[in-house]
Amino acid sequence: MTALLTLEHVSKRFGGLRAVNDVSFDVNEGEVLFIVGPNGAGKTTLFNLITGFLPPDEGILRFAGRVLTGTSPHVAARLGIGRTFQIVKPLRNQSVLENVMLGAFLHTRSVAEATARAREVLAFLQMEAVIDQPAHGLPLATLKRLEIARALATHPKLILLDEVVAGLPTGEALALADLLQRLPEWGVSAVAGVEHVMQVVMRVAHRVVVLDRGRLIAEGAPADVVRRPEVIEAYLGAKYKQVTG
């Protein structure tokens, strides 16, 4: 497998806080990678670094053989990095279809083609029922899917999903997980950040990276990573240790 995205010793500070601290890892083509870590572990900052919303203080990011460092957000999108926002950012006054068309316009000028592409993506995400509704007033679960749909419509090679299952009821989260599992069908590698929905992680992830206070503390297959003591200690906490021990 070849690496699509490479991070080498990437760091980002906010004042005295090291939000991302010397992080290195790869994302391979056709892979679904989960970044696991509690709130404040640095997941969103990492996504903002990869998509050019923030410049890194140190380190190098490469995407498809190109150095990403210093690119602006719209260039990252054009190179093939799609993203969702943890705090959903729909175009509130536009319909669901128009929201997704915006992503589809990345590769076509034609309104008809953008519409067709958007409908295709919305069908995949099982959102046909709300296609003409304005984005404001939709429930959170639908808005999270809308984020994915918009990103997927840009034809990304890599899609960054920031907490797309957070705050969803379990049934909804598992249904979404099944869809995430099928993302490679679209020729997309996926990196998903999650806080704690381990059921989803175990089900979908090919590989897991664990972040703790900006540092990468473990990397590997999901079943393997959750057994490591440092992960249990840092992330799952003492309670989990008691149960297993």
- For residues 37 and 34, give the distance between their C-alpha atoms in angstroms, rounded to a whole number: 10
How far apart are the C-alpha atoms of 93 and 15, rounded to whole Å?
36
208's tokens? 């897991």
State how far the Cα of 16 lies from the Cα of 35, in Å rounded to an integer: 24
CB of 84 to another protein, least distance (A): 8
Q: Count interface residues toward another protein (CB under 8 A).
A: 29
d(CA 168, CA 140): 8
* Of 47 and 235, CB closest to another protein: 47
Least Cβ distance, residue 232 to another protein (angstroms)? 35
Encoded one letter per residue, x for contact with another protein by CB under 8 A and - for no contact, window 77-106 reads: xx---xx-x---xxxxxx---x--xxx-xx
Cβ atoms of 162 and 193 within 8 Å: the answer is yes
* Cβ proximity to another protein, 157 vs 215, nearer residue: 157
Cβ proximity to another protein, 109 vs 239, nearer residue:
109
C-beta of 75 vs 221, nearer to another protein: 75
Q: Two tokens at 16?
A: 């005295």
What gap in Å lies between CA 83 and CA 75, rounded to an integer? 13
Which residues contact another protein (rule: CB under 8 A)? 51, 53, 72-74, 77-78, 82-83, 85, 89-94, 98, 101-103, 105-106, 108-109, 111, 114, 150-151, 154
